[in-house]
Chains A and B, each alone.
Chain A
């Protein structure tokens, strides 16, 4: 029986019983990547973990994240953090590469201040080109060598004690605001709602698409913290008040990076996909009204 350090509700048999599994099918990518970073007024924790499904199958993690900082500062000189999360589409064999490519591309373009619609169109073109090159090789296979990913990107800075920024997305990766009174609010709503009769996330539209068109919005938020995440975390968060409460307990204040990564990989029955979260907190802490610790 495996030891599960962080669990929300019933961890499920898979989390308790499955061994670690073979290394990923592609040499190189780690099961876990994490970053801790800070900008004036901002603390950042980011983690991506290989889900139980990929561990069981000996396949690579298909989520990815990328961080950068915007060279052009906020209106009053504040630095912006650029945070990108991508979730490779599981049915295609090289979607892990798609997620890495698109996340880095969007983080670079976001750092240069390229407006999100242009940045997404450019990332879409780059992904399409890469996917076409792979499929043009001899013996390539449309599924085994296919590349597709969702993407969500945020550029945000502190302005007069508030969060000010923009978000853009394709597919079901999301941005959430955790308010000072512990309420979770989804900032990235989509018209691609779940079908009424049965759940099936493959209805989500990924990249590459025909034109790379993305949804996007500006926001200004008072207090709290921001979280950019893949559906491995956002689905249980969206569907369960218990998950909302526990994650609010854990993340009202920034944990240390190692703890954050372990929490991102929390066990919960039947939720076995890769997990990725970038948490963005105010430095000095105004995520809640108490004095906050700095991770």
Chain B
């Protein structure tokens, strides 16, 4: 058992509250020099959650990667039941659509599974990390079709996640702003830091704070998914969603 491992009776309690989080990491070729920093950051995130029993009791995390294709590398789990996050490795291009479809499938599957086991499930939160522009031209249409919901028309993914995009290096702010969702409270983040390692550190710090704050408040039945402002001097800027379903 690792330093952060914790012994606890496992098994689901009927009516147990759970807050699902998805971490979707860009592992395209441009991340080659930064993959070690990304792996370190994700493992530190796991350790931070394990160190907070209130958060660990309610938060469950799924880690996914995307490049030309997308996949789940760590299925949804309580972090203290996971000794380490699997090592992420470099793959190919930057296909956002593959990530969106994979995330939508995972949310539908996990939600059904968790509810089937007797959990009471909060709306999930998805953190999307990317260092580049999408290679797929229809990324926005795929996003709108898979991960958003039109309340007036009753069309789309009713169980949509709170989608929080994080960009660095070649990722464009205008693209990130289209991805932040829902529109009325969605936020995006972009690191202008020249050091990718520092950018990842700052980004993962924000994710850590968001998960811990939401997890600490979830037990009241009123989780606060506060998308915290970046630390001063972090080189990260934050903006409001400008999601437009008709964006071209």
Contacts and interface: CB of A to CB of B under 8 A. Distances in A.
Interface of A: 9-10, 12-14, 16-18, 51-53, 56-57, 89-91, 197-202, 231, 235-236, 238-243, 268-273
B53 to A, nearest CB: 4
Interface stretch (B11-19, B82-90, B188-196): B11-19
Contacts, number: 109
A271 B223 CA distance: 13
A270 B219 contact: yes
A91 B15 contact: no
Contacts of B6: 13, 17
B221 A201 contact: yes
Contacts of B221: 90, 199-202, 231, 235, 273
Interface residues of B, number: 33
A273 to B, nearest CB: 5
B113 to A, nearest CB: 15
Contacts of A91: 222, 224
A238 B15 contact: yes
Nearest to B224: A91
A235 B42 CA distance: 34
Interface of B: 6, 8-11, 13-18, 53-54, 56-58, 80, 118, 120-123, 158-159, 216-224
Contact of B120 (A52, A53, A239): A239
Contacts of A56: 54, 216
Residue of B159, B218, B219, B222 with most chain A CB atoms under a 10 A cut-off: B219
Given A202-B222, A272-B54, A10 B11 contact: yes
> SS class of chain B's interface: helix, strand, loop or mixed?
loop
B224 to A, nearest CB: 7
A126 to B, nearest CB: 24
Given A10-B13, A51-B219, A269 B57 contact: yes
B224 A240 contact: no
B13 A53 contact: no
B109 to A, nearest CB: 15
A10 B78 CA distance: 14
B217 A90 contact: yes
B220 A90 contact: yes
Contact of A240 (B8, B14, B121): B14
Contacts of A231: 221
Give 6 nearest A-B pairs by CB, closest first.
A239-B15, A201-B221, A272-B219, A13-B53, A240-B14, A90-B220
